[in-house]
Amino acid sequence: MCGWLSEHARLMHFAEDQQTWVPSFAKDENGKPLYWVGFWNDKPPIESELRRHYTQAGPRIKFGEQSWKLPTPDSVDARAVYSDDGSMRWEVIRQFSWVCDEADALKEIYLEDFGVREIIFQHEPSEQIGWLTKLLQINYRLIPEVAAHLDMWIGKQHLIDAFIMTLGLSRKDAD
């Protein structure tokens, strides 16, 4: 049994009548959950309890009932470095270089054929939700099962807008 103890959550034990337990989305070769995630029925987790001690900058976005600080490739820590010609530029620190690499790859896909990707999102949003979850995990101890239990993924247009905003893109209006 693993858990995050805090001043607000001092207990970590199994209490079937006081908790809801959900199976992991990840399954073994027999289709059985790899783990279970427990929630206190009278005190679901809140943003401030899941927040890491050191966070990255980013806009506050409402997912579910709470607002979350969502880091983006443009908001993660960067350092000022000198270029060969003596000018300076911003370079994302190594710890967050993956964010920029993945964002560049996603941006290339969405700029290449965004109309088709929007249709895919309407039917199967796992790629976009996975990206938003990865970004939130920079600032929060948040696994997909917790996000689903908190009902964070509501509103197709809102989620599309949040996703493409993290890539530095925006949706064109129908007109």
In a domain, 29, yes or no: yes
Report the C-alpha gap between 24 and 34 in whole angstroms. Answer: 6
Residues 39 and 51 in one domain: no
Domain count, the chain: 2
Asked if residue 71 has pLDDT above 50, the reply is yes
- The verdict on residue 172 lying in a domain is no
For 131-144, write each residue's pLDDT tens digit.
999 999 999 999 99
Full residue range of the structural domain in which residue 119 is found = 47-166
Q: 80 with 147, same domain? A: yes
User: Are residues 104 and 90 both part of a single domain?
Assistant: yes
Is residue 34 domain-shared with residue 111, that is, in the same domain? no
Q: Which residues contact 20 (CB under 8 A, 6 or more apart)?
A: 38, 39, 41, 149
Torsion of CA 23, 38, 142, 29, to 10 degrees: -20
Number of H-type helices and E-type strands within the chain: 6, 6
Residue 12, pLDDT score = 73
For residue range 15-52, what is the model confidence (pLDDT) as tens digits? 889 999 999 999 999 999 999 999 989 888 999 999 99
| CA–CA distance, 173 with 157 (Å, rounded to integer) | 12
